[in-house]
Each structure stands twice: as structure tokens, then as C-alpha cells.
Amino acid sequence: MAYEDAPVYLDPPSNNWFGMQAWPMERVAELYYIFVKDGDKTSENVQMAKSVITKWVSYALDYIFIGSRPMSDEEGYFLDEQGQRILGGTNVSVATTSAPGEFLASWKYCLERTA
């Protein structure tokens, strides 16, 4: 087995996985919980953790689809209701079709489309 520097970045199927961002955010949330549980509700560390969690949840919810499937073009870019590519941002409106029982959390769009 050969050494591969940053292999996950060279492996497109795995680097599109939403959990790559959710796991570290879980750790930030756990740290926040520990601070608050121990009575620290106002320190700079608590405020930073709360800010990061709040911003991430707000952003991530734009790219999570439950019971629907996002519309995309031939290159995989999400489309808005007018059929235009969505190149990132917050408060996006992705065109969807009904897909009962499906769940999609697209880490690809949470990372690549905001650069």
C-alpha cells in the first residue's frame, strides 16, 4: 500500500459525504455542552462554539433534503426554480422533485460551492 497525501481529497465519492463536516461539528457541539454543563455560559470559548454551531446548522439546512430529490444539471450542480446553477451561498432555494422516503445531505455543496 503506497502513501497518499490527503487521500480523501483525491477520492471524489468519499469527499462528497456530508458526515465529513457533521462529525467535526458534533465535536464542537460536545465541547459547547461541556462548557455549559459546567456552568460556563458567557466565556469567549462558549460564544465562539455557539456561533459556529448556529452558522453551520443554518447553512447546512439549505443542502439537506428529506422526502425530496434536488434537481441538478449534467455536471451535478444543483439548480434553482429557473433552472440556473446554484454556486453556493446561504438561504438558497434548490428546485426539488418529490422522493418519499429519501434523505440526501450534500456535503459537496456545503464545501465546494462556497469557495
Question: What pLDDT is recorded for position 8?
Answer: 63
Question: Hey, where are the domains in the chain?
Answer: 16-114
Residue type, 110: C
Question: What pLDDT is recorded for position 89?
Answer: 75
Determine contact, residues 102/68, Cβ cutoff 8 Å: yes
pLDDT mean across residues, the chain: 80
Look at the block and give the residue holding cell 459537496: 108
Please say if the pLDDT value at position 93 is more than 50: yes
Question: What pLDDT is recorded for position 115?
Answer: 38
Report the pLDDT averaged over residues 73-79: 86
Please say if the pLDDT value at position 1 is more than 90: no
- Band the pLDDT of 107: cuts 50, 70, 90: very low
Q: How far apart are CA 23 and CA 8, in angstroms?
A: 15
Question: What pLDDT is recorded for position 66?
Answer: 85
